Structure 1
């Protein structure tokens, strides 16, 4: 039996693309999602609630503490909840997509190979920073279809990594990118031990490695989505960090077209259709059984049907 891969994330007001993000990752091999909701005011909670009833998501709510750093406490809680429920856990954000750069879109062959070595406790995947594709306003379509232009591999922002870890081997997270291990090796996709960036320290590498896999980071999306979404949400890891004009200009890189994630659009749609089928089945069960289910579940089903 292969290694069970799960995803961990903290989210806030991600209803517009949350289903796509979950469906995409299910299509590349992720089985379960551990999600902390950070005071969402849109339909995010309703979506998570419905998916939790289907065993796809395990979620909880977390408030923003006085220092503004909800991410690290969320990661600590997820580590506790995930132990014994998955073999390896990828800590990513809702605008980040785990992507195989090989012919097989599944990321599981790499995960199985890397973690077949018992001394490996963590895998770091470098970013691939995607820009706005020149879109000022939001358009219909999935993120992986609308944004297909990215920075070149040697773009300095791509030195950041996101981590896939054995939960039981992590003491805590040093920052959103890097885990402090109890023991074991921290490697890249070539199996080489990761060395902290000479200038910026842990969480960044000295060289961008896209061999076999990476994390597509849709850092800006359209200008409208950036202003109304990421900029307004702020940072979950640092209260003082403002993501506005400077951030957008730095990350809005559209140098090279890349269709690797675009190529998984059909598989992602199939997963979305499966979620809709689950919804229809759940709705029918409720009607036929006459059960007195909570209003929150009824609202979740209604909301998801509208989105799908």
Structure 2
């Protein structure tokens, strides 16, 4: 009896020591998982929230892009964690090293699909051609296709809403064929070199223009990007807006009709959803982008930097 009691007493310090090392391990692991490596529940500020996951892949993203695979990482992580998107089509427009060879995009590889376009595949208006290929190749697998770039991030402004839940509201309406979301244009914020996170760093935005008049030389948040019902897609008007079957309409966040054309929605509202466009990033990144961005030059930088600016911290709340 005395021996048994002695053995039990000896065990207690060992158990306590084991628990101590286990707690130390958990703390160490959590501090080492910074950046975009961890797959924890999404957080906005101090609040954790559960995001509805698109398990049926009703919504897919079609991304026409070239080179700079590391620029895709934050984009994919944001929409995977904060909007529940589970299918991304990486449409590789002839990268010098195919984007499919990049090792770690920060989300499970099973949710990525790659399509490579070599020099023989080149056509005029390559971006909109790629979007039509997304519909032709993959459209039947999804209800919606979002046509966005890797520097564009959706933000929803109401607790409990995501891009997915907003699109689900529109599904029953046969007269609605697409959702158009206005840009929030981010400038360089005076940053020279590449940063780890665009959401945390580029906190200077172009103020929205007022009124309905559209002046010459404009390029601002009047523009939308579209998420289109795949069975209503009838071809591109521009990279921003699309022809729709059965006289269906593109609508804004309040189910207001957006006239066919360039993809302009005025008056601008972003009460429920916005699309943050990190169009410049750092000066170093913009300079690198110009090497493959044939329709832009430094005058575009001057234009965006010259627009009235405001501080915008909305996207800094997102983790991961």
Q: CA 1:245 to 1:24, structure 2 compared with 1: closer, same or farther past 3 Å?
A: same
User: 5 Å matches for 1:163-202?
Assistant: 163-183=226-246, 184-196=248-260, 201-202=261-262
1:48–1:57 contact (8 Å) kept in structure 2: no
Matched, 1:249 2:302: yes
TM-score, normalization by structure 2: 0.72
In the TM superposition, residue 101 of structure 1 has moved relative to its aligned partner by 2.5
Cα distance per residue 1:105-144 (max 9 Å; x no partner): 62222121123323211111111100001112223x2111
TM-score, normalization by structure 1: 0.75
Corresponding position of 2:30: none
Alignment equivalent of 2:264, drawn from 204, 220, 231: 204
User: 5 Å matches for 1:219-230?
Assistant: 219-229=279-289
1:62–1:70 contact (8 Å) kept in structure 2: no
Measure, in 2, the Cα distance between the counterparts of 1:39 and 1:254: 36
1:131–1:151 contact (8 Å) kept in structure 2: yes
In the TM superposition, residue 246 of structure 1 has moved relative to its aligned partner by 0.4
In the TM superposition, residue 211 of structure 1 has moved relative to its aligned partner by 2.3
Q: CA 1:52 to 1:17, structure 2 compared with 1: closer, same or farther past 3 Å?
A: closer
Corresponding position of 1:106: 162
Cα distance per residue 1:165-185 (max 9 Å; x no partner): 111211111111111111222
Corresponding position of 1:297: none
Measure, in 2, the Cα distance between the counterparts of 1:259 and 1:44: 31
Corresponding position of 1:10: 64
Measure, in 1, the Cα distance between the counterparts of 2:165 and 2:70: 30
2:77–2:106 contact (8 Å) kept in structure 1: no
In the TM superposition, residue 60 of structure 1 has moved relative to its aligned partner by 0.7
Unaligned runs of 5+ in 1: 236-240, 270-308
Measure, in 2, the Cα distance between the counterparts of 1:67 and 1:245: 26
Q: CA 1:189 to 1:91, structure 2 compared with 1: closer, same or farther past 3 Å?
A: same
In the TM superposition, residue 47 of structure 1 has moved relative to its aligned partner by 3.0
Please state whether the residue corresponding to 1:121 is helix, strand or coil. strand
Unaligned runs of 5+ in 2: 1-52, 211-217
Measure, in 2, the Cα distance between the counterparts of 1:61 and 1:129: 29
Cα distance per residue 1:144-181 (max 9 Å; x no partner): 11112101122751111100011121111111111111
Q: Which has the larger Rg?
A: 2
Measure, in 2, the Cα distance between the counterparts of 1:52 and 1:36: 17
Please state whether the residue corresponding to 1:103 is helix, strand or coil. coil
In the TM superposition, residue 17 of structure 1 has moved relative to its aligned partner by 1.7
User: 5 Å matches for 1:87-98?
Assistant: 87-98=143-154
In the TM superposition, residue 68 of structure 1 has moved relative to its aligned partner by 4.8
1:151–1:256 contact (8 Å) kept in structure 2: yes
Measure, in 1, the Cα distance between the counterparts of 2:117 and 2:283: 28
Alignment equivalent of 1:45, drawn from 100, 104, 109: 100
Matched, 1:232 2:291: yes
Cα distance per residue 1:185-206 (max 9 Å; x no partner): 211110011124xxxx432223
In the TM superposition, residue 42 of structure 1 has moved relative to its aligned partner by 4.7
Q: CA 1:66 to 1:91, structure 2 compared with 1: closer, same or farther past 3 Å?
A: closer
